[in-house]
Structure 1
């Protein structure tokens, strides 16, 4: 069982829709993260641009899950990544009045102690994508873009 606590306290004029969207995410291991509605959805100062918004967290959870599986499958295959960076992107769109993120792009750059060939590198990402719990839990299309495969 996994758990995340979301904690919000009223501040501002709630009835007039001028209340803070800032809140706290508290995780079972003790980590706390400042969270808020996105400033693109709720203007500052009612949102906090320095906090993580749900859309960013959605992208980060997909990216992180993919990376963790990729690293494990790379290890199992005898390859050693030395750095891994992903700039995950996605955009909210309206679909019949419902907002959602239909596509997530993982824009991944990996460096290696000794790089596998391009087909093996791609296969490791494909295997990671299919193993990722988060990717298997969402209806968004997830596209893996390999930006670089350097030694």
Structure 2
């Protein structure tokens, strides 16, 4: 079994001068920095006092899941001789908030819209989606159901 190592730096940038002296004394803004890559400015979910103009952990998890699915789809389609010319997704996640304030994702639906070259095996193009969760790093790491509602169109 091969192991991969990942690292990043998470830095809170929301100290407005009082630190966390009280709940409204600070912002929920923070940064993700990975060596050699652009810094991503982030915040908390706006429902929890975050900046709605910045990415939040939920946005990033949903995007990571959809991005991983897309990259594996492109790889497996290429191996199957299916030429993909466009791929776009509008994933949606559903979360729940418990009375004690604890929250979690309870499900995600990926909604990829894929365009393939004429002559592609459309049954195989559809079947690839159901193979991805066996290999996608992110999908194999989450503990909630991920549904696929894909649309596949032929170019032209």
Where structure 1 has 5 or more consecutive residues not aligned to the other structure, the ranges are none
Task: Tell me: CA distance 1:115–1:101, structure 2 relative to 1, closer, same or farther (3 Å).
Answer: farther
Task: Show the counterpart of 1:38.
Answer: 45
Task: Show the counterpart of 1:149.
Answer: 153
- Would you tell me which structure has more strand in proportion to its own residues? 1
Q: 2:87 aligns with which of 84, 88, 99?
A: 84
Distance 1:115 1:108 in 2: 20
Task: Tell me: CA distance 1:96–1:68, structure 2 relative to 1, closer, same or farther (3 Å).
Answer: same
Asked if 1:58 is matched to 2:61, the reply is yes
**What is the root-mean-square deviation in Å for CA atoms of aligned residues?**
1.7
Task: Tell me: CA distance 1:74–1:49, structure 2 relative to 1, closer, same or farther (3 Å).
Answer: same
- 1:96 CA displacement: 6.9
Task: Tell me: CA distance 1:132–1:115, structure 2 relative to 1, closer, same or farther (3 Å).
Answer: farther
Asked if 1:22 is matched to 2:29, the reply is yes
Q: 1:11 aligns with which of 13, 16, 24?
A: 16
Aligned length: 147
Partner SS state of residue 133, structure 2: helix
Task: Show the counterpart of 2:73.
Answer: 70
- 1:113 CA displacement: 2.1
Distance 1:115 1:149 in 2: 11
**C-alpha distance after superposition, 1:60-112 (max 9, x if no partner):** 01001111110000111111111101111112203574311110100110011
TM-score w.r.t. the length of structure 2 is 0.86
Distance 2:109 2:81 in 1: 27
Distance 1:41 1:116 in 2: 46
Distance 2:118 2:133 in 1: 22
